[in-house]
Amino acid sequence: MYNITLIEGDGIGPEISKSVVEIIKKANVEINWDKQQAGKLALEKYGSVLPSNTIESIKKNRVCLKAPITTPIGYGFKSVNVQLRQLFDLYANIRPSKNLPNIKTPFEDVDLVVIRENTEDIYAGLEEKIDENTIHGIKLITKKGCERICDFAFQYAIKNNRKEVCAVSKANISKLADGMFLDCFRELAKKYSEIKTREILIDNLCMQLVVNPSQFDVMVMPNLYGDIASDLCAGLIGGLGVAQSANIGKDCAVFEAVHGSAPDIAGKNTANPTGLLRSAIMMLEYIGEKEKAKKIELALFETLKEGKYLTPDLKGSATTEEFTNEIIKKLTV
């Protein structure tokens, strides 16, 4: 029995969490879900977007599945995601993008992974007002941060039978910060001689990705470039609704869909649970349930391929429940 923190979120969060919990249960993985709150609901109930109960639960369980939450509008709220990443030092964000069965996109051979540094860069939140018309924002990059994310990318490539790691930067302009990132990448590359390496500037990467994405394999980059490039990559495979992500630290991990709480469709039983389900599949692999993870993925792919029960965002007319039941039906446990 695994103890895992579950943040059901708000908006479509509870609907898609219910779907994912049901599928995992039917796959016979025994999980004791420790339900906690974050975001708008937590603010209303506990006066904090990230209450201490939630933090304690993740500290104890070391693994968390997080559905989307609404960020309250207004000043004074630090993003829950950024807080979680910094509190638990979840330094590596993994965002795989691979074509899905029956989801038509301009390219048919996309299979790439963005490894994004998750704790530094402008997300360190170091901004100051110099005067009414001038803001000073700091891009914080450390050698330790560069080394561990590049090392993570090479390790990921080896574990997942990948051939190449490409370092993405803007080192022609950010000579010191991105320059250090590249130096660390080159130094680590010597240790992993079995993996091919490549370097590219972020602007050229964006152009190349929308022209010929199949030339890329694993890419590693500082936080801001990774934030933007990973959403672009999600677009290559069908959009945010189907994209998954993992935030990994030394001994703690948070898995989440990349989309938001979709208030426009909340409560309508039409949300697509695929993004959260694929994040949960990454979670099952992380805790060692690789076989069950594969079975769930196969059932999901089979449901997408058949195309009879798809949610409206995938041009179908099925409800979240119908889509979920179809996946459960196809599970071979």
- 8-state DSSP, 120: S
Q: How far is the CB of 37 from ligand NAI (least distance, A)?
A: 13
Q: How far is residue 284's CA from residue 24's CA, in Å, rounded to a whole number?
A: 9
Q: How far is the CB of 312 from ligand NAI (least distance, A)?
A: 7
Q: In terms of CB distance, is 73 or 211 closer to ligand NAI?
A: 73
Q: How far is the CB of 61 from ligand NAI (least distance, A)?
A: 19
Q: In terms of CB distance, is 200 or 262 closer to ligand NAI?
A: 262
Q: How far is residue 114's CA from residue 301's CA, in Å, rounded to a whole number?
A: 22
Q: In terms of CB distance, is 13 or 289 closer to ligand NAI?
A: 13
Q: In terms of CB distance, is 182 or 239 closer to ligand NAI?
A: 239
Q: How far is residue 279's CA from residue 99's CA, in Å, rounded to a whole number?
A: 16
The amino acid present at 55, given as its one-letter code, is I
> 171 by DSSP, 3-state: which?
coil
183-to-143, 155, 175, 216, 271 alpha-carbon distances in Å = 9, 18, 11, 21, 44
Q: How far is the CB of 227 from ligand NAI (least distance, A)?
A: 11
Q: How far is residue 205's CA from residue 161's CA, in Å, rounded to a whole number?
A: 23
Q: How far is residue 129's CA from residue 183's CA, in Å, rounded to a whole number?
A: 32
64-to-214, 253, 254 alpha-carbon distances in Å = 32, 6, 5
- Residues that bind ligand NAI in the complex, under the rule CB under 6 A: 12, 68-71, 81, 240-241, 256, 259-265, 271-272, 275, 313
Q: In terms of CB distance, is 53 or 79 closer to ligand NAI?
A: 79
Using CB atoms, what's the residue nearest to ligand NAI?
260
Q: How far is the CB of 144 from ligand NAI (least distance, A)?
A: 26
